[in-house]
Amino acid sequence: MEQLRGIVSDLRHGKTVMYKKETGTSTLHAAVFRLGEQQCKIVANHPIVINDGDEMILSGAYRSDKLFIALAHRNVTRRAEGHEGWATRLALTVVLVAAGIWLSTELLGGGYALVLCAALLGSGVLMSWRSVQVILSILALRPAPAKKKKK
């Protein structure tokens, strides 16, 4: 995980509202901005507290030389923080891996079952990897514990 720190400029906010009959309404928030000279992007399922001129610390990874994707962020100016989200993805990982294991034990003989099982297990591994990356980004933004003074 890499970290960036700087002042926000050229901020643009976006929001996508999705509705599914089974799950209801969900909202995805995004912010694209510059931190110094670096173009950055934050995506979260909660409103992102950020304005032009705020000092931000981001933890994430470069998608390319031109874009830094923040998995976790802290707004030093407004004392707010957030992250991409990991709990739902991790729960879905468990479901996908369990389904893949069940399919492999119940339907092992068919070629289609093996392909489906491999796809489910692969999706589960990728989702768990992303969840771990988000958790590591959150931890990277936590301040180090203060050392006790010796007497």
Rounded average pLDDT over 134-143: 78
* Residue 82 region by backbone torsions, left for phi larger than 0, else alpha for psi between -120 and 50, else beta: beta
Domain coordinates in residue numbering, the chain = 2-84, 85-143
Rounded average pLDDT over 39-61: 89
Cα-based angle 74, 135, 122 (whole degrees, multiple of 5) = 135
Tens of pLDDT along 88-107?
777 777 777 777 777 766 66
Task: Please determine, for residue 113, whether its predicted confidence score (pLDDT) is greater than 70.
Answer: no
Rounded average pLDDT over 66-94: 82
Distance CA 6, CA 71 (A): 16
Rounded average pLDDT over 116-136: 79
Task: Give the predicted TM-score (pTM) of the model.
Answer: 0.70
Place of tokens 């969900």: 26
Task: Please determine, for residue 17, whether its predicted confidence score (pLDDT) is greater than 70.
Answer: yes
Task: Please determine, for residue 65, whether its predicted confidence score (pLDDT) is greater than 90.
Answer: no
